Amino acid sequence: MDVRVTDRRVVATLADAVFLALVHRAFGAADAHPRTGLEFVQLSPRFGVAWLVVAVLYYVLMEAYLGRTLGKMLMRIQVVDEVTGRPPGLLKAVVRTAARVVDGGCGYLVALVVVVNSQRRRRIGDMLAHTLVVGRP
């Protein structure tokens, strides 16, 4: 994987974050902070859990069967099994998604540092799941 794919991967992550933020907003009620006027979204516990389930399923199902989230589609990159070159399947997608707890630390700074410094430009989730993110035409 070259640096251009890494750049596209960062933009894809941001695009997915925007998409999930829109989903988050759809589940919650927006209020303005009384002193700052900044808007924030409050979720009831039930809708908070629902949003979390939607977010996890978004990554797992999209990457398992298509190898792509909406952000990856936009940036023309894909997750593949490192051996077969095909979409990773359900188990590997679950592993990749579960590893987001670590990779997503400090706003995905952990993932960025690992990707930039790893031999095959993979984040921890890719290493654990034996997947790669590759460019597609």
What are the DSSP calls for 88-103, one per residue?
--HHHHHHHHHTHHHH
Those residues whose C-beta lies under 8 Å from the C-beta of residue 18, and which sit 6 or more positions away, are none
pLDDT score recorded for residue 49:
82
Domain boundaries, the chain: 3-135
Q: Is the pLDDT of residue 84 over 50?
A: yes
pLDDT score recorded for residue 45:
73
pLDDT score recorded for residue 1:
45
pLDDT score recorded for residue 106:
84
> In this predicted model, what pLDDT tens digit does every residue of 85-135 receive, in sequence order?
999 999 999 999 999 999 988 888 999 899 999 988 999 999 999 999 999
pLDDT score recorded for residue 99:
96
Rounded Cα distance, 92 and 23, in Å? 25
Tell me, what DSSP letter sits at residue 132? E
Rounded Cα distance, 113 and 50, in Å? 31
C-alpha distances (whole Å) from 22 to each of 16, 39, 50, 57, 120 are 10, 14, 14, 16, 32
- If you average pLDDT over residues 75-87, what whole number do you get? 97
- If you average pLDDT over residues 12-30, what whole number do you get? 82
> In this predicted model, what pLDDT tens digit does every residue of 42-70 receive, in sequence order?
656 777 788 889 999 999 999 999 999 99
Q: How is residue 7 written in tokens?
A: 């750049």
28 vs 126: which has the higher pLDDT:
126
Say how many C-beta atoms besides its own lie within 10 A of residue 58's C-beta.
17
137 vs 37: which has the higher pLDDT:
137
Q: Is the pLDDT of residue 80 over 90?
A: yes
Partners of residue 91 on adjacent β-strands = none
